[in-house]
Structure 1
Amino acid sequence: MTAVPAPRIALLGGGFSTDDDGLLDDWLLGHARVARPRVCFVPTASGDAPGYADRFLAAFRPRACEPAVLSLFHREHDDRALRAFLLAQDVVYVGGGSTANLLAVWRAHGVDRILREALDRGALLCGISAGANCWAEGSHTDSFGPLTHLPDGLGMLPGSVCPHYDGEPGRRPSYRAAVASGDLPAGWAVEDGVGALFTGGRPVEVVTRRAGARLYRVEPDGRGAAVEHPLPVRRLAHPRTPL
């Protein structure tokens, strides 16, 4: 019998849209299941902003991969073709924007169900900001203006996610308060510059392109507050760049 691959999800605190060194994107491609992976960028959370897709293609076309973009606001695939297209991808890379809007649009088009099937078949699912939030059971978001908790997600990654943990004012105390109160389940806080690979819902590798940046496990302490547990992290660098 063919072994069923353990589901893999990567949370990104950077990449082509925020960094100019390419370290996190190179690290990500190194975890694809084939040497020349098909990589689909999904910019739904930004309303399929054309400039966002253009930056992705400019960053990934020179790499050893086959990049593509899925637009749902200007959809070209019928249901059958959409499913075939997504299931053919080795990596699905989701961009930032509004987590709430992303979830609503995906559900309207059935993308949530297809991506669950892709995950079960061995595709690597990943993303930054809203593209990291969406995989969890709940997340910390500014989808509604002020920072708040969103107890909604695809549930492919157990617990909750908070992006930009050190990069945006108010993120850290607001997420800790949501976890402490039970508004969000215990989860993962991603600082900018970090990449975290999860297999079977557990972190198996954490890297950073920025000294001092971490991934934290944030849990209620049972006394009305939350506690952070930093995970071991490996610093990324270009081959000729000293640490």
Structure 2
Amino acid sequence: MKRVALLGGGFSNDEDGLLDAWLLSHARVPRARVCFLPTASGDAVTYVDRFFEAFAPRHDCDPSVLPLFQRKLDDEALRAYLLAQDVVYVGGGNTANMLAVWRVHGVDRLLSEAYDRGTLLCGISAGANCWARGSHTDSFGPLTHLQDGLGLLPGSVCPHYDSEPGRRPSYRAAVADGSLAGGWALDDGAAALFTDGVLTETVTRKPGAGVYQVERKEQGDVEELALECRPLH
């Protein structure tokens, strides 16, 4: 079973821990090995600290972090480490920079291999964008489209759909003119789980936060479907 979770929140910006608890409930073992990949933030120390503050006290996981800007593992050890993880949690930041760094170190290939072996892949913002082929990003300053993802999910991804000015109209315009394939948009506070490339669950930690399927129709029209999300408590 191959699974990817798109997160509209988590330890980095949610105090209640509901999305992270939901995520870990889908791990393949009761006590999951969770690797945090902070590449998109340049391995920011404060981001790593927040990860450990949130996950170290939990009884359902063993957290660790994989830095790439000060890499310590050789190729063989890096592969063994990533393939041993039950969950790989990718943080937010610059999507384009993150993908470039992953490719230099071969992490893109290792993540695809881990996915094929049943590791649950997930992330917020850039960590959600990376799993599809296309995404909506501010990696280059202004909001734009990026066709450089890992392609593990069909279509495209747009995070921060409700919280950042211009996200919704810019993503819809990119889908309308074919710059991005149709796909999935997430409000902050919502999350979506894909199993074998098919959407199987949508949840929300706050009222009004949702997940949307956005598709291009004939003559460049765009259809936006708000999906039913189960509230988390």
Q: TM-score, normalised by structure 1?
A: 0.95
Match of 2:169 in 1: 173
**Secondary structure of the structure 2 residue equivalent to 1:77:** coil
Residue 152 of structure 1: CA displacement? 1.4
**Secondary structure of the structure 2 residue equivalent to 1:97:** coil
Q: TM-score, normalised by structure 2?
A: 0.99
Residue 194 of structure 1: CA displacement? 0.5
State whether structure 2 residue 23 is matched by structure 1 residue 43.
no
State whether structure 2 residue 112 is matched by structure 1 residue 111.
no
Match of 2:192 in 1: 196
Match of 2:143 in 1: 147
Decide whether the 8 Å contact of 1:41 with 1:56 is kept in 2.
Answer: yes
State whether structure 2 residue 10 is matched by structure 1 residue 15.
yes
Alignment partners' CA distance in 2, 1:231 and 1:202: 14
Alignment partners' CA distance in 2, 1:186 and 1:195: 18
AA aligned to 1:90 is: D
Deviations 1:49-74 (A, max 9, x none): 00000100010001121000000001
After superposition, residues 215-226 of structure 1 pair within 5 angstroms as: 215-226=211-222
AA aligned to 1:36 is: R
Alignment partners' CA distance in 2, 1:200 and 1:218: 20
Aligned match of 2:86 in 65, 81, 90?
A: 90
Residue 89 of structure 1: CA displacement? 0.2
Alignment partners' CA distance in 2, 1:231 and 1:214: 7
AA aligned to 1:76 is: K
Alignment partners' CA distance in 1, 2:108 and 2:220: 34
**Secondary structure of the structure 2 residue equivalent to 1:40:** strand
Residue 223 of structure 1: CA displacement? 2.1
Unaligned runs of 5+ in 2: none
Residue 236 of structure 1: CA displacement? 0.5
Alignment partners' CA distance in 2, 1:231 and 1:199: 17
Deviations 1:138-171 (A, max 9, x none): 0000000000011111000111000000010000
Select between 200-209 and 168-177 the one with higher mean Cα deviation: 200-209
Decide whether the 8 Å contact of 1:177 with 1:225 is kept in 2.
Answer: no
**Percent identity between the aligned chains?**
71
**Secondary structure of the structure 2 residue equivalent to 1:223:** helix
Alignment partners' CA distance in 1, 2:171 and 2:219: 16
Deviations 1:200-240 (A, max 9, x none): 11111100001011110100121223110111110001xxx
Q: How many residues align?
A: 232
After superposition, residues 118-137 of structure 1 pair within 5 angstroms as: 118-137=114-133
RMSD after superposition: 0.6
Give every structure 1 segment of 4 or more consecutive aligned residues whose post-TM-superposition deviation is greater than 2 Å. none
